[in-house]
């Protein structure tokens, strides 16, 4: 149904490089597309919304980013298309453990989870489980 | 059948008239003429000639044909009131003649009136006969002394009734002087009565002199105990009130609603900073001192108070003659008559300017504190971001440094771990700077010339300046100084310069303009660049927050302006920003030189 792709949205180059290696180990069947901020990722999604097949299965979203932060990205997404929200498994992956951030994420019902950095293989295994569940349906 | 005893009547020493029932006088005694101030060649023919219109009671007495007496008031030729008693008895029922004899009792009436008045006023009298050494007290004087009627006073006994101490000394001195020189006295003193009661009396005395020698003293003695005590009580109360009012700095006013008269006490004039002669004593004059913005509200509150709808308890500003603004707290009470109609408004004003200013200062401090708290909150949150993002990178990267990782990747990962560790260290150094700012005291500050300081900062970034060759337009008078802490000042300007260079618009030459002026106690410096600018609409609230960056610039670490703002505030100053996206940014620094 969707492309075998995942979006990795984070302004931190080091994190993207490290995650790239880690995700390839944890969820090897996904191709990773990297974005430096919310706006780039948002524009890519809007381009693909015409063709649902081309939407990614998974999206890892950082919160603190220049130009368009993770929250701003979620707000834009909320306003645009419920299809995108339903189609994609979205996880916030942030270094923030501030209660405001953790609480705020719960107000977006289309966000599947909050992963606190550093990302590890256990996190990816859990994500993979939900992905395969949906894949079975 | 009796003849009129004319001869004996005529010679009688008593004023007698014989009257017929209709009022005609048919015979008189000679004494009648002088009694009624007629001369002997005048004639008296009618009763009305004697005392004018006769009263109804007199006529009624005549009609009964019985003996009666009647008091009659007449005016003498000199205009004095005379009280006459007319004793009437019928001479012959058949002929209807009446015998009327008159008696003047004016003096007795006066005496009675005087006695009554004395009793009411509790006034007694006394005399001292110095020749025979006899003392006489009137009954009222005895009564005031609470002594029996048979009490026989002498001068020494009399004096000893005065309370020992001031009262007795006073009366001895006054009487001695009166005897010696005839000087009268009028004193308010305390006596101890025969029943051992303390009593305020008024003692008046004067001397009777013959050939310059005082023969006797006489005077009046009055019980003034009640009135005096009331007055003393009132004085004590009003003294207390006055002290209270003075110490509380309260002005009192009294507004007569009927005649529209406004009374102010001295303190009110002090509070409003005007002199008594400037003030017309009318409501409008009060109104004219009130701050224009508060006038309508204060006026309305007075109206509401008069109508009884709301208690008058308010605050307003007044503008004093010299333009100074003061805050007044005003309370008032409305007094109504029996019908519930208000007729008087009494109020108290206090100058609350000082406490008001203190409140404002506290609010200001509170705002600064809240702001600082907010920033500390940002600090802890975003610190976690910078620390955790670097530490989590190190953790992730090092966790994957295993045999499965290609050699090329391993090298890259190690390089990244090293960089992350450096950034971690850098972050910790910056955090240390922030902590240092909070710990700096205002007492370490100096007044420093502004221009040389800025020139030194430019020198210290010579490399950057040479690389970008900005146009520097610095116009600062050599006399301008700022009060600050040197390391902070350096840091503030260094940060502004590096920001301007970092966020320059690449398509045009960077221009930096610095101006400074002194305004009252402040030195105000404007720092303007023509760089890429900041979208303030979106970012105003977070521009000075820690780790907030607004540019895609890779160097942006977002800690600079946070530290700059903290440096400024630690020195008692302020920093503000104006910016237009694409056109440039101006930072205004305001230094307080009076701390």
Residues of chain B contacting residue A117, judged by C-beta atoms under 8 Å apart: 388-389, 392, 396
On whether any CB of chain A is under 8 Å from the CB of B420, the answer is yes
Of A17, A21, A95, the CB nearest to B388: A95
pLDDT at B439 over 70: no
Residue A2: CB atoms within 10 Å = 18
CA distance B523 to B492: 15
- The C-alpha R_g of chain B, in whole angstroms, comes to 53
CA distance B100 to B54: 13
Contact at CB, A15 and B549, closer than 8 angstroms: no
**Residue environment code for A61-84, b if the CB has 16+ CB neighbours within 10 A, otherwise e:** bbbbbbebbbbbbbebbeeeeeeb
Cβ pairs A/B, distance under 8 A: 67
- B115 or B266: which leads in pLDDT: B266
CA distance A85 to A79: 10
- B559 or B368: which leads in pLDDT: B368
Tell which residue, B457, B453, B446, B482, has the closest CA to residue B591.
B482
Q: Do residues B272 and B318 lie in contact, with contact meaning Cβ atoms separated by under 8 Å?
A: yes
Give the CA distances from residue B36 to residues B22, B91, B101, B193, in Å, rounded to whole numbers and listed in that order: 21, 23, 12, 50
Whole-model pTM? Answer: 0.43
Q: Judging by DSSP bridges, how do beta strands B68-75 and B25-28 pair with one another? A: unpaired
CA distance B587 to B410: 46
How many Å lie between the alpha carbon of B410 and the closest alpha carbon of chain A?
11
Q: Mean pLDDT check: name the lowest of B202-211, B273-282, B284-293.
A: B273-282
H-only helix segments in chain A: 13-26, 38-48, 70-80, 82-87, 99-105, 121-136
Q: Do residues A69 and A98 lie in contact, with contact meaning Cβ atoms separated by under 8 Å?
A: no
Domain B441-592 has CATH 3.40.640.10: no
Residue B497: CB atoms within 10 Å = 23
Q: What is the pLDDT of residue B542?
A: 65
Q: What is the pLDDT of residue B75?
A: 79
Give the CA distances from residue B106 to residues A96, B73, B251, B262, B496, in Å, rounded to whole numbers and listed in that order: 116, 9, 58, 51, 112
CA distance B115 to B123: 9
On whether any CB of chain A is under 8 Å from the CB of B364, the answer is no
Q: What is the pLDDT of residue B3?
A: 46
Q: Give B426's contacts (C-beta < 8 A, 6+ positions apart).
A: none
CA distance B589 to B569: 10
CA distance B116 to B122: 10
On whether any CB of chain A is under 8 Å from the CB of B410, the answer is no
Q: Give B101's contacts (C-beta < 8 A, 6+ positions apart).
A: B14, B15, B16, B86, B87
Protein fold of B352-439: Helix Hairpins (1.10.287)
Which of the listed ranges B36-40, B438-442, B537-541, B551-555 does the model predict with the highest average pLDDT? Answer: B36-40
- For B526-574, the pLDDT digits (tens) are 999 999 888 877 776 666 765 544 444 444 455 678 778 888 888 888 8
- B445 or B280: which leads in pLDDT: B445
Q: Pick one of 1.10.3720.10, 3.30.930.10, 3.40.50.300, 3.30.450.20 as the CATH number of B122-229.
A: 3.30.450.20
pLDDT at A17 over 60: yes
How many Å lie between the alpha carbon of B272 and the closest alpha carbon of chain A?
53
Contact at CB, B392 and A117, closer than 8 angstroms: yes
- For B487-534, the pLDDT digits (tens) are 888 889 988 998 899 889 999 999 999 999 998 888 999 999 999 888
pLDDT band at B209 (very low <50, low <70, confident <90, very high): confident
Contact at CB, B400 and A18, closer than 8 angstroms: yes
Looking at domain B249-345, its CATH architecture is 2-Layer Sandwich (3.30)
Q: What is the pLDDT of residue B403?
A: 77
pLDDT band at B2 (very low <50, low <70, confident <90, very high): very low
**Which helix (H) or strand (E) segment is B81 a member of?**
strand B81-92
E-assigned strand segments in B33-80 = 68-75
Of B391, B396, B412, the CB nearest to A119: B396
Protein fold of B6-109: Beta-Lactamase (3.30.450)
Contact at CB, B419 and A12, closer than 8 angstroms: no
ipTM (interface predicted TM): 0.84
Residues of chain A contacting residue B388, judged by C-beta atoms under 8 Å apart: 95-97, 117
* Domain-wise residue ranges, chain A: 5-136
Residues of chain A contacting residue B396, judged by C-beta atoms under 8 Å apart: 15, 18-19, 22, 117-120
Give the residue from A14, A21, A63, A117 with the most B CB atoms within 10 Å of its CB, the best one to mutate: A14
- For A91-120, the pLDDT digits (tens) are 999 887 767 777 888 888 889 999 988 888
Superfamily name with CATH number, domain A5-136: Response regulator (3.40.50.2300)
* Domain-wise residue ranges, chain B: 6-109, 122-229, 249-345, 352-439, 441-592
pLDDT band at B110 (very low <50, low <70, confident <90, very high): low
pLDDT band at B124 (very low <50, low <70, confident <90, very high): confident
Q: Mean pLDDT check: name the lowest of A92-106, B90-104, B161-175, B431-445.
A: B431-445
Interior CA angle at A135 toward A134 and A136, to 5°? Answer: 90
CA distance B566 to B337: 64
Give the residue from A37, A40, A66, A123 with the most B CB atoms within 10 Å of its CB, the best one to mutate: A66
- A52 or B585: which leads in pLDDT: B585
pLDDT mean across residues, chain B? 83
**B284-299 average pLDDT score:** 85
Domains B122-229 and B352-439 equal at CATH topology level: no
Which of the listed ranges A99-113, B420-434, B475-489 does the model predict with the highest average pLDDT? Answer: B475-489
Residue A135: CB atoms within 10 Å = 12
Tell which residue, B233, B257, B422, has the closest CA to residue B337.
B257
On whether any CB of chain A is under 8 Å from the CB of B421, the answer is no
């Amino acid at each position: 149904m969707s492309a075998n792709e995942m979006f990795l949205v984070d302004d931190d180059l080091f994190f993207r490089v490290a995650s790239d290696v880690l995700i390839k180990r944890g969820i090897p069947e996904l191709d990773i597309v990297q974005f430096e901020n919310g706006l780039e990722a948002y524009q890519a999604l809007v381009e693909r919304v015409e063709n649902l097949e081309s939407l990614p299965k998974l999206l890892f979203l950082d919160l603190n980013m220049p130009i368009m932060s993770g929250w701003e990205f979620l707000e834009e997404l909320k306003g645009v298309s419920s299809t995108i929200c339903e189609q994609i498994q979205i996880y916030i992956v942030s270094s923030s453990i501030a209660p405001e951030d953790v609480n705020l994420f719960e107000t977006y019902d289309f966000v599947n989870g909050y992963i606190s950095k550093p990302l590890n293989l256990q996190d990816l295994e859990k994500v993979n489980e939900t992905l395969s569940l949906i894949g079975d349906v | 059948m009796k003849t009129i005893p004319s001869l004996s009547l005529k010679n009688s020493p008593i004023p007698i008239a014989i009257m017929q029932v209709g009022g005609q006088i048919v015979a008189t005694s000679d004494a009648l003429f002088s009694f009624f101030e007629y001369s002997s060649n005048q004639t008296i023919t009618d009763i009305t000639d004697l005392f004018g219109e006769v009263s109804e009671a007199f006529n009624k007495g005549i009609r009964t044909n019985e003996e009666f007496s009647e008091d009659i008031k007449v005016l003498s030729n000199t205009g004095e009131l005379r009280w006459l008693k007319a004793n009437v008895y019928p001479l012959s029922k058949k002929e209807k003649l009446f015998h009327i004899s008159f008696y003047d009792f004016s003096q007795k009436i006066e005496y009675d009136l005087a006695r009554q008045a004395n009793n009411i006023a509790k006034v007694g009298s006394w005399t001292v006969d110095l020749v025979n050494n006899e003392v006489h007290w009137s009954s009222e004087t005895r009564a005031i002394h609470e002594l029996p009627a048979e009490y026989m006073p002498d001068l020494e006994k009399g004096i000893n009734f005065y309370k020992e101490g001031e009262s007795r000394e006073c009366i001895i001195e006054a009487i001695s002087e009166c005897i010696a020189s005839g000087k009268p006295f009028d004193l308010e003193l305390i006596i101890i009565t025969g029943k051992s009661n303390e009593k305020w009396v008024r003692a008046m005395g004067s001397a009777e002199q013959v050939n310059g020698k005082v023969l006797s003293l006489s005077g009046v003695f009055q019980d003034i105990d009640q009135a005096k005590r009331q007055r003393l009580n009132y004085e004590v109360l009003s003294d207390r009130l006055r002290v209270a009012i003075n110490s509380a700095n309260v002005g009192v006013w009294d507004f007569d609603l009927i005649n529209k008269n406004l009374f102010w006490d001295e303190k009110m004039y002090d509070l409003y900073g005007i002199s008594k002669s400037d003030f017309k004593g009318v409501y409008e004059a009060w109104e004219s001192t009130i701050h224009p913005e508060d006038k309508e509200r204060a006026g309305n509150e007075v109206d509401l108070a008069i109508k009884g709808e709301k208690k008058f308890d308010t605050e307003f500003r007044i503008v004093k003659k010299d333009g100074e603004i003061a805050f007044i707290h005003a309370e008032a009470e409305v007094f109504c008559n029996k019908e519930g109609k208000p007729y008087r408004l009494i109020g108290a004003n206090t100058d609350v300017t000082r406490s008001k200013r203190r409140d404002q200062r506290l609010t200001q401090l509170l705002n600064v504190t809240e702001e600082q708290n907010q920033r500390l909150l940002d600090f802890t949150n975003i610190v976690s971001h910078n620390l955790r993002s670097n530490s989590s990178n190190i953790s992730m990267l090092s966790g994957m440094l295993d045999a499965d990782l290609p050699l090329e990747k391993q090298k890259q990962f190690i390089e990244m771990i090293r960089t992350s560790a450096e950034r971690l260290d850098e972050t910790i150094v910056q955090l240390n700077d922030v902590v240092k700012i909070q710990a700096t005291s205002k007492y370490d500050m100096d007044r420093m010339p502004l221009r040389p300081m800025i020139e030194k900062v430019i020198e210290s970034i010579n490399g950057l300046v040479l690389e970008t060759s900005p146009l520097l337009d610095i116009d600062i008078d050599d006399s301008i100084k700022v009060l600050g802490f040197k390391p902070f000042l350096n840091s503030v300007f260094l940060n502004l310069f590096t920001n301007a260079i970092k966020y320059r618009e690449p398509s045009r030459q960077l221009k930096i303009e610095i101006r400074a002026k002194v305004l009252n106690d402040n030195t105000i410096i404007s720092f303007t660049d023509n760089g890429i600018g900041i979208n303030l609409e979106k970012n105003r609230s977070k521009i000075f927050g820690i780790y907030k960056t607004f540019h895609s610039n890779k160097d942006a670490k977002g800690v600079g302006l946070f530290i700059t703002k903290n440096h400024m505030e630690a020195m008692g100053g302020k920093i503000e920003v104006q910016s237009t996206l694409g056109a440039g940014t101006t930072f205004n620094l305001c230094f307080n030189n009076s701390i």
